[in-house]
Amino acid sequence: MSPGLLVAALLASADLCAPVSPEASADPASAAPYVEVAEAEQAAGETETALVAWHEVLRGDPRHARARAAMKALCREKSATREDGEDAAAALLSGLAFFERGEEASAAVAFRRALAAPELADTASFFLGLLALREGRADEARALFTLAAASSDAGLARRAEELRTRAEREGRVMLSVRLGSEYDSNVDLTPDDTRRRGGSSDGVGLGFAELRLRPWGERGPYARLSGHYRGHLRFTDFDLAGAGGTLGWAWGGPSPRLSAEYGFDFLALGGTPYLRAHRLLVAARAPVGPVVLEASGAVRREDFLDTLFTAYSGWRSTARLDVEWSPTEHLLLSAGWYGGLARVSDASLGFLEHGPRAELRLRLSPGLRLLGEAGYIRRGYQDSVGWRGAASNVPELAYGRLVGGLGLVWTRGLY
Amino acid sequence: MKHLALCLALLGLTAATPSDSTPHLLQGARHFREGRFSNALVEFKVAQRLGTDGEADWYIAASLVKLGRSEEALEAFAAAQKRAPDARDALLDYYHALACYDVKLYLCADTLLDAVGEASGPRVGEQVLAACFLEEAVRLAGRREDRYRLAEARASLGALSELPAPLVGGGAP
């Protein structure tokens, strides 16, 4: 049941205090057992059932003085309670309006008032859970979604259950660990016609860990610390280990959202220092009709620490524009364009690359997602004269590579 | 629960009750079916006062559960168990388990659920009765943090070819 219908149903509940229609043939004797029940219920403080019983007494015996007096008193009491219930229903409606307009503080106040009505508590808990989740209060969100998941409204209960699972993965402090393995058909990017004997394919083991801090939830400052390792079975010279840190600030919620961040990355190749990089990134995300547009631009200063590669040191700029569309609740499709420009110490090694990309994310169950991504990039190398050619790669550097892998990701909100 | 009146009839509600109380039991079952649990409770209590050999006690207890008066429901279940042990049924045990859960008597709830789970097969063969039964299981499991048997109950409910009509007054307790 939608919140609006729920409120309407609450406001339209039957009124026991309306005038009583007596039975066609009044029978005071038949009213006697109802009197006993009415008195017992009233003594126990059960207004509703007492009213029902007194109502039945008056149907059988319209002149029953005690029943009339009790009805009058109980209806006065019920009227005050009903006004409270109507207040709660109105609070839920105004909370929904505030929520739609993005006025989250006002929405939270209204939803808390709606919690007072037991009939509305599940819906109000659900929306308070959403607000808590946005603000990074994952523990509170979990508790609220647990309440909403017990709703008799199956749709609301199912959605609350899904969000409860999500809340367990979020919070102000989050730890994410990913383990996996890959097959790489061309580890050292050997040109196709100069393959080394035995090929350069290898098995790869992957490990990644990241700690995320969001003291104010989805908006405000955030920080990430991460480390990763990619180890080969045969070509250990290509083992790659890295660590990095990011500091940033986000404005808005999940969408629209604007964020800016600074990051530092360090990489070691084959056990020796390889690369040190500083990066700046600005990203924006906004709903436009049925889709969400996401754009980002980044610039990165790369310094290679091995003298063999110092000619590659320099600036790399990248830009991305993506469109996201969710045709169903479980499916997300995105498509976009990527572009990158490298200006390095040796001008002939600089390049411009760009191309389309597409991605599919299918949620199979709350903890399991299927991801698919495809892209095509054209790269043109630069020399002192100008672009060598934009339509094809340098033939001597052409190579083929296929990588496929499987991984497991575990994420948990720690606080 | 929309089909409870039918369930109650299937369970032999009026089999051996004094004639004066029978109309009240039937009226109570009708109210229960339509989600008017306060009216159902009043009718069952009137029937009890007119004499039903303890049978009405079970339905009073079930109505109290639906009204969220779980402690009173537990007392009513205890009284019903003493006065009419033969009228006990799997569906009523689910209401009993709900009352136990509400007052945090988890062992009591689990024991009842386990016993019901073991004995339910042949007794809930009817589709509608099975649906009543499973709906209560889903509602009970949904209230628990560990979602005890929730998936099992939902899967069984989804597998039924005849599902009950949408709940009326199913919000309480």
Whether residue B33 is contained in a domain is answered as yes
Mean pLDDT across A131-145: 84
Is B49 part of any domain? Answer: yes
Report chain B's C-alpha Rg in angstroms: 15
Q: For chain A, which residues lie within 8 Å of any Cβ of chain B, measuring from their own Cβ?
A: 33-34, 36-37, 40-41, 46, 48-49, 51-53, 56, 118-119, 146, 149-152, 157
Mean predicted confidence (pLDDT) in B80-84: 89
Show residues of chain A in contact with B165, CB under 8 Å: none
pLDDT at B16 exceeding the cut of 60 = no
pLDDT value at residue A37: 92
* Spatial CB neighbours of A159, under 8 Å, sequence gap ≥ 6: A126
- The pLDDT, as a whole number, for residue A197 is 62
Q: What pLDDT is recorded for position B159?
A: 67
Q: Is residue B81 part of a domain?
A: yes
pLDDT of residue A143: 87
Check A119 against B170: CB less than 8 A apart.
Answer: no
Distance CA A75, CA A47 (A): 9
Q: What is the mean pLDDT of chain B?
A: 72
Token readout for A10 is 């609450």
Please state the rounded mean pLDDT for residues A387-392: 36
Could you read off the pLDDT of A209-224 as tens digits, one per residue? Answer: 999 998 887 788 999 9
Q: What is the mean pLDDT of chain A?
A: 82
Contact A33 B38 (CB under 8 A): no
A390, amino acid identity: A
Which band of pLDDT confidence, cut at 50, 70 and 90, is reported for residue B94? confident
- Judged against a pLDDT cut of 50, whether residue A10 lies above it is answered with no
Three-class SS string for chain A?
A: CCHHHHHHHHHCCCCCCCCCCCCCCCCHHHHHHHHHHHHHHHHCCCHHHHHHHHHHHHHHCCCCHHHHHHHHHHHHHHHHHHHHHHHHHHHHHHHHHHHHHCCHHHHHHHHHHHCCCHHHHHHHHHHHHHHHHHCCCHHHHHHHHHHHHCCCCHHHHHHHHHHHHHHHCCCCEEEEEEEEEEEECCCCCCCHHHCCCCCCCEEEEEEEEEEEECCCCCCEEEEEEEEEEEEECCCHHHCEEEEEEEEEEEEECCCCEEEEEEEEEEEEECCEEEEEEEEEEEEEEEEECCEEEEEEEEEEEEEECCHHHHHHCEEEEEEEEEEEEEEECCEEEEEEEEEEEEEECCHHHCEEEEEEEEEEEEEEECCEEEEEEEECCEEEEECCCCECCCCCCCHHHCCCCCEEEEEEEEEEECC
The pLDDT confidence band at residue A191, using thresholds 50, 70 and 90, is: low
Asked if residues A321 and A308 have their Cβ atoms less than 8 Å apart, the reply is: no
Q: Per the confidence metrics, is the pTM higher than 0.80?
A: no
**Cβ <8 Å between A152 and B145:** no
For A35-77, give the secondary structure using H, E and C: HHHHHHHHHCCCHHHHHHHHHHHHHHCCCCHHHHHHHHHHHHH
> Which range, A90-104, A122-136, A273-287, B1-15, is most confident?
A273-287
Of B42, B67, B69, Cβ closest to residue A53: B42
Distance, CA of A29 to CA of A32 (rounded, Å): 5
A368 to chain B nearest CA, in Å?
Answer: 17
pLDDT at position A126 is: 93
Kindly provide the b/e burial profile for residues A330-364, where b requires at least 16 CB atoms within 10 angstroms of the residue's own CB.
eebbbbbebebbbebeeeebbbbbbeebebebeee
Q: Is pLDDT of A313 > 50? A: yes
Residue B67: inside a domain, yes or no? yes
Does the pLDDT value for residue B170 go beyond 70? no
Question: Is residue A210 exposed (0-12), middle (13-18) or buried (19+ Cβ within 10 Å)?
Answer: middle
* Residues in chain B closer than 8 A to A52 (CB atoms): 38-39, 41-42
Q: What are phi and psi of A132, to 5 degrees?
A: -65, -40
Amino acid, single-letter form, for residue B93: D
The residues pairing with A413 across neighbouring beta strands, listed in sequence order, are A174
Q: Find out whether A57 and A33 touch, Cβ atoms under 8 Å.
A: no
Instruction: Please list every residue in chain B whose beta carbon sits closer than 8 Å to the beta carbon of residue A33.
Output: 46, 49-50
Nearest CA in chain B to A164: B145
Answer whether residue B144 shows pLDDT above 70. no
Q: What is the pLDDT of residue A266?
A: 96
Read off the pLDDT band of A62 (50, 70, 90): confident
A58-72: average pLDDT:
87
User: What's the mean pLDDT in B6-17?
Assistant: 46
Mean pLDDT of B81-93: 85
User: Is B47 part of a structural domain of the chain?
Assistant: yes
Average pLDDT of the residues in A105-114: 88
CATH number of the domain where residue B52 is located: 1.25.40.10
What is the reported pLDDT for B166? 35
Minimal CA separation from A56 to chain B, in Å: 9
Q: Which helix (H) or strand (E) holds B31?
A: helix B22-33
Phi-psi region of A217 (alpha: psi -120 to 50; beta: other; left: phi over 0): left
B50, B68, B142 ranked by CB distance to A33: nearest = B50
Q: Quick check: B5 and B165 in contact, CB under 8 A?
A: no
Q: Give me the number of domains chain B comprises.
A: 1
Chain A nearest-CA distance from B55, in A, is: 17
pLDDT at A65 over 50: yes
- Terminal C-alpha separation, chain B: 12
Task: Name which residue leads in pLDDT, A196 or B24.
Answer: B24
Q: Name the phi and psi angles at A87, rounded to 5.
A: -60, -40
What's residue A86's pLDDT?
A: 67
Q: Picking from A10-24, A270-284, B10-24, which range would have the lowest pLDDT averaged per residue?
A: B10-24
Backbone angles phi, psi at B124, to 5 degrees: -115, 35
Q: Give the domain range for residue B54.
A: 2-89
Q: What is the ipTM of this complex?
A: 0.73
In the chain, the amino acid numbered A200 is: S
Tokens, residue B130: 């099975």
The angle, 0 to 180 degrees and rounded to 10, between the axes of the packed helices B150-159 and B127-142 is 150
Q: At residue A278, does pLDDT exceed 90?
A: yes
- Residue in A49, A118, A146 closest to B41 by CB: A49
Per CB-CB distance under 8 Å, the chain A contacts of B172 are: 118
Residue A31: the pLDDT is: 84
pLDDT of residue A401: 63
Q: Give the best-scoring range by mean pLDDT among B60-74, B79-93, B135-149.
A: B60-74
Measured distance CA(B83)–CA(B77) in Å, rounded:
10
Most confident of A140-144, A215-219, A238-242: A238-242
Q: Considering only residues A364 and B48, tell me which one the structure prediction assigns the higher pLDDT.
A: B48
Kindly tell me if the per-residue pLDDT of B43 is higher than 80: yes
Q: What is the pLDDT confidence band of residue A105, given thresholds at 50, 70 and 90?
A: confident
Q: Give chain B's largest Cα–Cα span.
A: 46
- Least confident span in A165-169, A257-261, B38-42: A165-169
A30: confidence class by pLDDT, cuts 50, 70, 90: confident
Q: Which of A37, A150, A157 sits opposite B46 (nearest CB)?
A: A37
- Percent of chain A with pLDDT strictly greater than 90: 28
- Test A33 with B171 for CB contact under 8 angstroms: no
Q: Is there a contact between A49 and B46 if contact means CB atoms under 8 Å apart?
A: no
The whole-number pLDDT of residue A169 equals: 76
Size of interface A-B (CB pairs under 8 A): 42
pLDDT of A23 > 90? The answer is: no
B72 CA to chain A: closest CA distance, Å? 11
CB contacts of B139 in chain A (<8 Å) are 150, 152
Looking at per-residue pLDDT, the higher value among B24 and A89 belongs to B24
Average of per-residue pLDDT across B6-13: 46
Residue A220 corresponds to which tokens in the numbers above?
């405000």
User: Of A175 and B17, which is predicted with more confidence?
Assistant: A175
pLDDT for the residue A398: 54
Nearest Cα to Cα of residue A404 among A186, A194, A177: A186
Taking CB atoms and an 8 Å cutoff, what residues of chain A touch B64? none
Cβ A49–B170 below 8 Å, yes or no?
no
**What is residue B143's predicted lDDT score, i.e. its pLDDT?**
65
Mean pLDDT across A128-142: 85
Instruction: Give residue B158's pLDDT.
Output: 67
Res. A394: pLDDT tops 60: no
* pLDDT confidence bin for A165, thresholds 50/70/90: confident
Interior CA angle at B38 toward B32 and B42, to 5°?
A: 90
Average pLDDT over residues A348-360: 86
